[in-house]
Amino acid sequence: MINSRNYISRLKIQQRKNNRKWLFYRICVISISIFLIIIIPSEIVKYYKSSQNKPEVKGISSLNLTNISLSKIPKIKNQAKLPMVNSRQYALVDAKSGYLVVSKDENKRVPIASMTKIATALVAIENYKLDEIVTISKNASSTIGSDAQFKTGEQVKVIDLLNAILISSANDGAIALAEHSGSIENFVKKMNDKIDALGLTNTRFNDPSGLDDEGFSSAKDISIILTYALRKPEIKSIVNQSQKEIISIDGISHQLDNSNRLVKDEMYLSGIIGGKTGFTPIAGHNLIAAATRNQHTLIAVIINTFDNSITASAEEAKKLLEWGFTNLEY
């Protein structure tokens, strides 16, 4: 009898323990269920809302552009086929929103040759007066590559040097502008300071002409640089000229012929604003070009075309811009 009572007592004690365990388990299950059903979804909603409030629209934050309507971000039309672009890197950007429409390796760091001169022009405009007179050094006049045939000792206004570097990609003009700051090194530092101020992380310049292939940028970065540069009326008024004559203080005439074929009759693009070419054997054929139609501006960046012909970058940029104006809706 005693053993039976002890056995029953032990059973009751064990049952109470089991009941407490099951109560604990039920509380845990209920708590986890509440967390899964209520807490996590609410956090997901918060995250989604926060991500919607801060959309990743490429280029906007770097440029601090104002009056941008996110509803105006372009969309590719239904059934539109993506463009076939024959270059190693490229990008098509909506200038107003900074939205990257289509691209390939847009963040890859690569040499960009004379497209560098967009930054050279920016720094010159922001540090010099347009009517300042620059004396051409022997170092500048003997620079290799494309030039405006400036003579040693010749005196040229800053505005005319800007025309020379942006129209005919004059390396002698780029060196002269840089030396006017005191030294080429000082000027290049200002170029990189400007890049840092724009928040660009895939660009670093080594010289003002772009001949140094150790300098680099990316398709995305250079599109942002041009977008910013086109806010300067001095630059915008220069880059769309097919030809121009400049006359130095010494009375020497220099005929400038635009290296960007999209502003010339041979390959003219409707709505073209202008841009900048670039070529070295390592960087390949490059072109950045902006055009406007129906109040929408697109920027095409072509870096290192597969075709090595002198017209390849213009052909690819034109094709990309035409595709954009045909297949985008706002």
- Annotated binding-site residue numbers for substrate: 276
| Cβ neighbours of 264 (radius 10 Å) | 17
Collapse the DSSP code of 289 into the 3-class scheme (helix H, G, I; strand E, B; otherwise coil) and give the result. Answer: strand
* Known binding positions: 276
Taken as a whole, the chain contains a residue count of: 330
Collapse the DSSP code of 155 into the 3-class scheme (helix H, G, I; strand E, B; otherwise coil) and give the result. Answer: strand
For the question of residue 114 being annotated catalytic, the response is yes
> Which of these is catalytic: 62, 146, 169, 181?
169
- Tell me how far apart the terminal alpha carbons of the chain are, to the nearest angstrom: 91
Burial of residue 163 (CB within 10 Å: 0-12, 13-18, 19+) is: buried
From CA 195, how far away is CA 52, in angstroms rounded? 28
| Cβ neighbours of 304 (radius 10 Å) | 23
Strand ranges, E, within 192-325:
243-247, 253-257, 272-280, 284-293, 296-305
> Which of these is catalytic: 103, 114, 218, 223?
114
Phi-psi region of 105 (alpha: psi -120 to 50; beta: other; left: phi over 0): left
Tell me the H-state helices in 64-205.
Answer: 117-127, 138-141, 158-167, 171-179, 184-197
> Which of these is catalytic: 58, 96, 117, 220?
117
Backbone angles phi, psi at 169, to 5 degrees: 55, 45
For the question of residue 183 being annotated catalytic, the response is no
For the question of residue 81 being annotated catalytic, the response is no
Instruction: Tell whether the torsion through CA atoms of 71, 72, 74 and 77 is positive or negative.
Output: positive
From CA 316, how far away is CA 305, in angstroms rounded? 8
From CA 47, how far away is CA 63, in angstroms rounded? 26
Query: What residues contact 174, with CB distance under 8 A and at least 6 apart?
Result: 117, 120, 143, 165, 208, 209, 210
Enzyme catalytic residues? 114, 117, 169
